[in-house]
Amino acid sequence: MSVVFACLDADTLGGIQQVTHTLAQGLAGRAHEVHVIGLQRSRSPFRYVDRPLYHHHVITADRRLKKLLRAIEPGYAVMTSPSVVIRLSGLLPAGFRPIGQYHGSYDHARGCWHFASIRKHYPALDQAVFLSEDDAWRFSEHALLPNAWTLPNPLAPWPEETSALDSPRVLGVGRLEGVKRFDRLISAFARSGAPPPWELHLIGEGAERERLRAHAAGEGVGDRVVFRGLLPAARMPAEYLNASVLGLTSEHEGLPIVLLEAGAHGVPSVAFDVSGGVRSAGPVPVPPGDVDTFAAELRRLVDSVEERRRLGAAARARAAAFRLDRVLDRWEQLFAHIER
């Protein structure tokens, strides 16, 4: 069958894009005809798959988009955000079965225009897909969705090696942008009192870099917060293997891939409890914005390698449910459900 994934931007570094390309490659590997369509050009394209088995398009004009869709055998059209659902409304040829994904959380949607858009546009789709059972249930109840379904983000590849958890390193991974609130992670690291040689390594790039560097200096840990920049995906396994704890202090998240990747490498995480997706990944949960409690949990893990190993083993066991092959099975079950 054919599967089309449509993204507003399919090529920028980000969670939606990583998930889309991972699913596209996996489904194409199962002999489906798969297309990934970006509806706008990325300023800084990032290559997710070295040898894609799927077709990749960037099409900004509706006329060209309609022409491409007519040339694809009708199948499933997966629209990865409310913006894409609005954009493709009326453009899909007859025969396509529309599926609306939402990569955010219910709480985030309620705080912006997404909730009203989902409530207006998603009920007419064949399926509305959310990242966790908790989010799917809340959308079903409060957005009156009769078609809510749960499909988590996939984790690929599955690592065979795990961290020894003996490196004095806390890891933060993500875009250095305001919504990720790395300032709170820096503050929590400083307040934890983690002694030298413990360091906080931040992997990512963004507009907040210099402000965060100044914030680290102001917190008295400027010499122990290491800004690593943007690293290729192929180097990330080594980063997890050299870490002992992962910290996540975002204002909002859907189901962060970094929690799954850390868990798969046996690295325990501490995270603000901002969504059902975060909870499903099994980090040590902290009330959103509570930097002091976050610091206390960091210190607890810094002080005890036994606790790191206990929580790391549990995180790896939890992450196994998100392995790519298992998530692909669930996508094919969704397609079969729609056909029934």
With a CB cutoff of 8 Å and minimum separation 6, the contacts of 284 are: 268, 269, 270, 271, 297, 301, 311
* C-alpha distances in Å from residue 316, one per residue of 110, 119, 266, 323: 32, 36, 5, 11
Contact 181/250 with Cβ under 8 angstroms? yes
* C-alpha distances in Å from residue 287, one per residue of 71, 85, 172, 181: 50, 33, 18, 14
What is the signed CA dihedral for 121, 147, 5, 157, rounded to 10 degrees? 140
pLDDT number for residue 249: 98
CB neighbourhood size of 30 (10 A): 13
Gap between the Cα atoms of 268 and 186, Å rounded: 18
Taking the CA of residue 295 as centre, how many other CA atoms within 13 Å lie in the half-sphere pointing to its CB? 15
**Residue 233 banded pLDDT, cuts 50, 70, 90:** confident
**Residue 275 banded pLDDT, cuts 50, 70, 90:** very high
Residue holding tokens 């606790």? 307
Q: Which stretches within 194-303 are classed as H helix? A: 209-218, 236-241, 257-264, 276-281, 291-303
Taking the CA of residue 89 as centre, how many other CA atoms within 13 Å lie in the half-sphere pointing to its CB? 14
Contact 224/218 with Cβ under 8 angstroms? no
Give the predicted TM-score (pTM) of the model: 0.93
Taking the CA of residue 214 as centre, how many other CA atoms within 13 Å lie in the half-sphere pointing to its CB? 3
Give me the amino acid identity at 283. P
pLDDT number for residue 340: 84
**The pair of three-digit structure tokens given for residue 62, joined into one six-digit string:** 């509706």
pLDDT number for residue 334: 98
pLDDT per residue over 140-168, tens digit each?
999 999 999 999 999 999 999 999 999 99
Q: What's the angle, vertex CA 119, arms to CA 116 and CA 121, rounded to 5?
A: 100
From the list 88, 76, 83, 124, the residue with the least C-alpha distance to 103 is 83
pLDDT number for residue 296: 98
List of domains in the chain: 2-154+323-339 (3.40.50.2000), 169-321 (3.40.50.2000)
Q: In the chain, what is the greatest distance between 2 CA atoms, to the nearest angstrom?
A: 63
pLDDT number for residue 1: 84
pLDDT number for residue 232: 86
Give me the amino acid identity at 135. D
* DSSP state letter for 249: -
Q: What is the mean pLDDT of the chain?
A: 97
Phi, psi torsion values for 203, nearest 5 degrees: -110, 120
**Residue 13 banded pLDDT, cuts 50, 70, 90:** confident
Query: Which residues in 42-168 belong to E strands, given as ranges?
Result: 55-58, 76-79, 97-101, 127-130, 148-150
Contact 202/225 with Cβ under 8 angstroms? yes
Looking at the predicted structure, is the pLDDT value of residue 44 above 90?
no
Give me the amino acid identity at 156. A
pLDDT number for residue 8: 97
CB neighbourhood size of 330 (10 A): 13
pLDDT per residue over 62-91, tens digit each?
999 999 999 999 999 999 999 999 999 899
